[in-house]
């Protein structure tokens, strides 16, 4: 068989195989089989060119190039054909109905108590306070002793607590943070400490067994009760608006002297008296007072030189006043119909 016949035969064989190929991989295999540099059938034929008449060589080379071009062209064409067929198959099997409504992902949001806490912190940050946090599991020392509430002191009943074991309890207020902060730093101190508290209180519209407080503490030279009143009145106006009125009632806390209860007029009845304010027209939002000298001395402060005020506000009560919510239990029931409103 002449070399030209060989080449023609090769091309014919290739044409048949390429036309029958059904995958990209198969086509790649055919390319190697016919045109591969090492061991390809065309290469093998061309090797024999060496023994040819030198005058025939250029013609053989030309024809071989044509055969190569033809095979490459066929492979490319077949590849394109297979690709299109494959695409059509996929398009018809993976149908997409663009008229279907999308899957709605409802964006989450901060719980209303977190939002309220955020606002309280912002207001005090604006007044130059820093924000700190302390542990929820507290020792008897920080929760009571260091706050001038010795064991068996009758005022411990004010904080009916969940004890984990003797000497260790779920903190019943955020006031232990006063001591923790003062132990760590010298005056001047200006700090708010938000956090969860736990008490064995009977649950009603304004009491829950877990709730949040924000403790505030300011210690410096010449701090007076007027500073406390001014600060808290400013806070109440920033938080509730100019319309709400505040009132300071004399009160008692072992760690402040004098002490006060801060009340805001009831948002439900506007002070006339209702279930929420227990007919008093006022809702208590925090306890406050001038830090007792014994507490200052306990952390090594010079109580002659320094004085300070402290307050502890209930975050739930503040959220109730801000958003006109008449039952504290709503915060903890995880009812989305309620939570989605804020
Ligand atoms: C205290 O806990 C004091 N540590 C506050 C304080 C701090 C006084 C610094 C002086 C200086 P009291 O028990 O009154 O005080 O609680 C403070 C506030 O926490 C209350 O005004 C109320 O808003 C909130 N609170 C107390 N108990 C509950 C409860 N069971 N559920 C929801 N809120 C509560």
Last residue of a domain, one of 42, 59, 93: 93
119/225 same-domain check: yes
**Cβ–ligand 1 contact at 287 (below 6 Å):** yes
Atom number in ligand 1 closest to CA 216: 9
Instruction: Verify that 276 and 181 share a domain, yes or no.
Output: yes
Number of domains observed in the structure of the chain: 2
Q: Is the CB of 253 under 6 A from ligand 1?
A: yes
- Compute, in angstroms, the gap from residue 50 CA to the centroid of ligand 1: 105
The Å distance, Cα 196 to ligand 1 centre, comes to 11
* Span from the CA of 339 to the centroid of ligand 1 (angstroms): 24
Same domain for 162 and 276?
Answer: yes
Centre of ligand 1 to C-alpha 235, Å, is: 17
Whether 258 maps to a domain, the answer reads yes
Query: Which DSSP category does 174 fall into?
Result: S
Domain containing 287 — which CATH number?
Answer: 3.30.930.10
In which domain, by residue range, is 120 found? 112-339
Q: pLDDT tens digits for the chain (342 residues)?
A: 788 888 899 999 999 999 999 999 999 999 999 999 888 898 888 887 667 788 888 888 888 899 999 999 999 999 999 999 999 988 888 888 889 898 888 888 999 999 999 999 999 999 999 999 999 999 999 999 999 998 888 777 777 899 999 999 999 999 999 999 999 999 999 999 999 999 998 999 889 999 999 999 999 999 999 999 999 999 998 998 888 889 999 999 999 999 999 998 887 788 888 877 888 899 889 999 999 999 999 999 999 999 999 999 999 999 998 888 989 999 999 999 999 999
167 and 240 co-located in one domain: yes
Q: Is 211 in the pocket of ligand 1 (CB under 6 A)?
A: yes
User: Is residue 105 exposed (0-12), middle (13-18) or buried (19+ Cβ within 10 Å)?
Assistant: exposed
Does 271 map to a domain?
A: yes
H/E run at residue 165: strand 162-165
| Ligand 1 atom at minimum distance from 203 CA | 30
> Is there a domain that residue 266 lies in?
yes
Q: Do 256 and 292 touch, CB atoms closer than 8 A?
A: yes
Residue 127 lies inside a defined structural domain of this protein? yes
SS3 289: strand
If asked whether residues 78 and 165 sit together in one domain, one would say no
Question: For 273, left (φ over 0), alpha (ψ -120 to 50), or beta?
Answer: left
**Residues ≥6 apart with Cβ < 8 Å to 98:** none
State whether the beta carbon of 194 lies less than 6 angstroms from ligand 1.
no
CA distances from 1 to 48, 94, 111, 157, 235 (A): 12, 52, 89, 115, 106
**Same-domain pairing of 89 and 120:** no
Task: State which of 173, 210, 236 you would mutate to test the pocket of ligand 1, scoring each by most atoms of that ligand within 8 A of its C-beta.
Answer: 173
Q: Which atom of ligand 1 is nearest to the CA of 311?
A: 9
Looking at the structure, do residues 71 and 127 belong to the same domain, yes or no?
no
């Amino acid at each position: 068989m002449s070399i030209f016949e060989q080449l023609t035969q090769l091309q014919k064989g290739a044409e048949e195989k390429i036309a029958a190929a059904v995958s990209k991989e198969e086509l790649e295999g055919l390319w190697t089989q016919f045109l591969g540099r090492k061991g390809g059938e065309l290469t093998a034929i061309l090797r024999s060119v060496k023994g040819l008449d030198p005058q025939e060589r250029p013609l053989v080379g030309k024809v071989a190039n044509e055969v190569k071009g033809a095979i490459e062209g066929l492979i490319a064409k077949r590849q394109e054909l297979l690709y299109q067929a494959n695409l059509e198959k996929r398009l018809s099997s993976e149908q997409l109905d663009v008229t279907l409504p999308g899957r709605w992902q409802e964006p989450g949001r901060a719980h209303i108590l977190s939002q309220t806490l955020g606002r309280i912190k912002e207001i005090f940050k604006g007044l130059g306070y820093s924000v700190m946090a302390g542990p929820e599991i507290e020792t008897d020392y920080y929760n009571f002793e260091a706050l001038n509430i010795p064991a068996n002191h009758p005022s411990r009943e004010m904080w009916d607590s969940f004890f984990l074991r003797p000497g260790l309890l779920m903190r019943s207020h955020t006031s232990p943070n006063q001591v923790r902060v003062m132990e760590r730093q010298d005056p001047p101190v200006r700090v708010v400490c938000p956090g969860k508290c736990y008490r064995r209180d009977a649950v009603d519209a304004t009491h829950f067994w877990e709730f949040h407080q924000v403790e505030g503490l300011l210690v410096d030279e010449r701090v007076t009760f007027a500073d406390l009143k001014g600060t808290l009145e400013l806070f109440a106006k920033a938080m509730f608006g100019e319309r709400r009125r505040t009132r300071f009632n004399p009160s008692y806390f072992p760690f402040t002297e004098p002490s006060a209860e801060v009340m805001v007029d009831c948002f439900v009845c506007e002070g006339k008296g209702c279930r929420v304010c227990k007919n008093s027209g006022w809702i208590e939002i925090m306890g406050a007072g001038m830090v007792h000298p014994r507490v200052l001395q306990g952390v090594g402060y010079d109580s002659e030189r320094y004085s300070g005020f402290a307050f502890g506000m209930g975050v739930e009560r503040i959220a109730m006043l801000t958003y006109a919510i008449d039952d504290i239990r709503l915060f903890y029931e995880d009812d989305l119909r309620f939570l989605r409103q804020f």
